Amino acid sequence: MKVKPEDKPLGKRILSAMLNFGIANVMTKIIGFLLIPLYTSYLDPADYGIVELCSSLAAFSVIFMRLGVPGSVSRFYFDHKDDVKSLSDYVVTVHRFLMASSLGIGVIIAVITFWFSDVLLPGLLFLPFIGLVLVNSAFSANGDLQKRLLQSKEESAYMAKLNIVTATLSILLALFFVVYMELGALGFILSQSATTLIFYIQAQVYLRTYLKQGSFKPAMLKDSVKYGMGLLPHHLFAVLAPLLSKGILNYKESLAALGLFSLSLRFIQPLDIIYNIFNKAFVPIYFSLRKSNADDQIRRVYTICWYVAIALFSFTAIVLPSVLLLVTPERFHPSASLIPILSIGFMGQLAYSFFMMEKFYDKQTRYVSMVTIFGLVVNLLVTIICVESFGVFAIAYAYSAGFVSWAVAGYFLSGRQFLQYINLQTILIGLVFSIGVFLFTYNIPNENIVARSLFFTGILLVIAFLNLRHIKVLYTSFKKR
């Protein structure tokens, strides 16, 4: 007899979901990380700058095309999951809307960038780069719907297999186009196009049962669009701020400077992956626990996750700058000093997530947009004020300042509801601890990887000592049958 996700022990639910949601990303990022010495031999900083602009444009385009509706699936799935026909109708309705909006808005973006790309994205050609990015963004819509359904159903094992195949194929195609064909930045974009086409077909196959059984229901769409539009400004401004700041850096400095920033972002990707894994794994579990009024379990998980985040931040800020020096040519070494700065943003993101989770549960998405707009303003202000004097470092500080401002705004908008799940003192201790780590890292040369590793080991032991009680309780939950 198949066990329902909600009937499994909490420890196993969270760990299983995080492992499955993250295993593919972790594996492929490790492979991608190991390939950095190879890529940096075939690419120069300007190529990385082009890829970074394309990635930012893609992120912006996808959010705008979807109008926030995929985010509603994670919430409204639970209103339809017990009725097969109702769920099928809902999936068909969302699917048709996503495809139509993606294609329609994609055409609008294409017209604007065709005429104004020299002003908006200097150095990035409409053909082939912008055109391919927009096609990729439009035809990944059904894949977004598929992933939201898998997340809501807690089918993390299927998601892991899908992500592994997708990422492996993408890496193989990138190696073919970049290394074998020596197409530079264009090779990366072509590999994404080929991968998008293949998995557009795969997503249609996965959704076929819903598409056959269901029918389009405008009434169902209304609530999802309303929910999604509440999230849209949040997602849109979250990607717009980096796009604008990168555009300013490209305009004021060069594509090469943007390329250095891009490489440093690749070294903090593990933090972004872990943050996204946590959200994907924990959001449906949180909603389930809230319905069960399991406050003690939520509180325990929050506390442990916060201290784990401090350990991850410390590792990234202390150890990875030295690793960058070891694996890249000298022309990329200035990127190492950006990594500790960018790592701060991870702590801001996680604190924001803690503060605002209850608002998501209560469907109060209007607050989310307010937070993101505040972050956009902070990001752009730091960029504009500092870019002339500090160049690429200004963009790094703007990146983290935007996420920290999310946490600050989230704290005040949350109405302190989060305090029933995590002690404010725990949050403050973690923030002070992280700031101390950040300041101290600049007293140890990046070249001295041994000293930096010993420093990180000491931090890890302190964190483990502070959380012995919580670790024992969670371990007991994991062992339950």
What is the full per-residue pLDDT of the chain (481 aa) written as tens digits?
455 555 555 555 555 665 655 565 566 666 666 777 778 888 888 888 898 889 889 988 998 899 888 878 877 887 788 888 888 898 899 999 999 999 999 999 999 999 988 887 887 889 899 999 999 999 999 998 998 888 777 777 787 788 888 888 888 998 899 988 989 889 989 999 999 999 999 999 999 989 899 888 888 888 888 887 777 777 777 787 778 888 888 888 888 888 999 899 888 887 887 787 777 667 777 777 777 776 677 777 777 778 888 888 889 999 899 989 988 888 899 999 999 999 998 888 888 887 877 777 766 666 777 787 888 899 889 999 998 889 899 999 999 998 899 888 888 877 666 666 666 777 777 777 777 888 888 788 888 888 888 888 888 887 777 666 656 655 565 555 4
- Structural domain harbouring 33: 5-479
Structure confidence at residue 270 (pLDDT): 79
Nearest CA to 123 out of 185, 64, 172, 73 is that of: 185
Residues with Cβ < 8 Å from 92, sequence gap 6 or more?
210, 211, 214, 215, 216, 217
Q: What is the pLDDT at residue 294?
A: 65
> Residue 270 half-sphere exposure, CB side, CA atoms within 13 Å?
18
Please give the tally of structural domains in the chain.
Answer: 1
CB-CB contact of 430 with 348 (8 Å):
no
Residue 203: the pLDDT is 93
Residues in the chain, overall count: 481
Cα angle 304, 313, 358 (rounded to 5 degrees) comes to 45
Classify the C-alpha dihedral 394-395-397-398 as positive or negative.
positive
Q: Are 216 and 92 in contact (CB under 8 A)?
A: yes
